[in-house]
Amino acid sequence: MSSSRSKVVQIYKHGFVDSVDDSVAVEEPLQITLDGCPIAVVMRTPCDDADLVKGFLLTEGILTDIDAVSRIDLEQKLNHALVFLKDDVEIDYQRLQRNLYSASSCGICGKATIESIRQEHPEITSTHQVSSSVLLAIPDTLRAAQKTFGETGGLHAAGLFSLDGDLLVLCEDVGRHNAIDKIIGWAATNAVDFSKVLMQVSGRVSFEVMQKAHAVGIPIISAISAPTSLAVDFAEESGQTLIGFLRPPRFNCYAGSQRLS
């Protein structure tokens, strides 16, 4: 399934009308079923679905180790991800109570209780640093890799970078939190050391962005736009470094400045 599709649109400009082919980002539901138990429906751009599911299971605190997954079947039924766990893995399904709808704009909107929004993970103590020159080069690298955004203008992006500025993985999606789950799922599959990477997002930084990064131990999060107040508070509590308004030649550091060299 493609991440974009063609649509004939009417362009109105300077009093004239013209019909042209345009590309729009694809949005489709994906139901995630865990050992026969439906746990969530996410509205996503259909690409990198296996990585999306893996990242979702990790960042939502459902699994702590992706090796617990035996296989993910994406072929049996359209827009369904059937996840099968290894025989010795136990899941507390009562704790997973959550509405079966997660909007593309906000993954925590489907949480069943306020208590389930915050997850318990240890404070991040990584002492690895990133230089300001590396940070300032990241937005251009991210933008250059956003192929579908270039076609449609309608997708968020998230990327993982080494602390030397090398792009390890980039994913796009209609939901910012989905793009994050995709890169985290890819990184977990490829045994990336999360304590030695930086996560860059294309828009603002919300509480959930920080929480998803914290769930797997990512110490540095940066974005081209603003953080929310709760994202800043969370960064301070979790020991993360939070960079906002990363727009060369400047950026703001809201928490964790000790990791900037």
DSSP string, 139-182: HHHHHHT-HHHHHHS--EEEEEEETTS-EEEEEEESSHHHHHHH
106 catalytic residue (yes or no):
yes
Whether residue 59 is predicted with pLDDT greater than 90 in this model: the reply is yes
Residues 171 and 245 in one domain: yes
| The two structure tokens encoding residue 50 | 């296996």
Span 190-240, pLDDT tens digits: 999 999 999 999 989 999 999 999 999 999 999 999 999 999 999 999 999
Least confident residue range of 31-45, 149-163, 172-186: 149-163
pLDDT: which is higher, 69 or 23 = 69
pLDDT at 99: 38
Average pLDDT over the chain reads 89
Range of the domain at 192: 132-259
| Calpha distance 35→84 (Å, rounded) | 5
| Calpha distance 59→216 (Å, rounded) | 7
Residues 250 and 145 in one domain: yes
pLDDT at 109: 53
Tell me the residue ranges of DSSP E strands in the chain. Answer: 4-13, 16-25, 28-34, 37-44, 69-73, 80-85, 156-162, 167-173, 197-201, 220-223, 241-247, 250-255
Residues 139 and 103 in one domain: no
Give the mean pLDDT of 152-173: 93
Least confident residue range of 94-103, 179-188, 249-258: 94-103
- Would you say residue 120 lies in a domain? no
Whether residue 100 is predicted with pLDDT greater than 60 in this model: the reply is no
Give the mean pLDDT of 106-125: 62
CATH number of domain containing 184: 3.40.140.10
Number of structural domains the chain divides into: 2
- Would you say residue 16 lies in a domain? no
Residues 137 and 69 in one domain: no
Least confident residue range of 65-74, 85-94, 130-139: 85-94
Q: Which of 106, 109, 171, 253 is catalytic?
A: 106
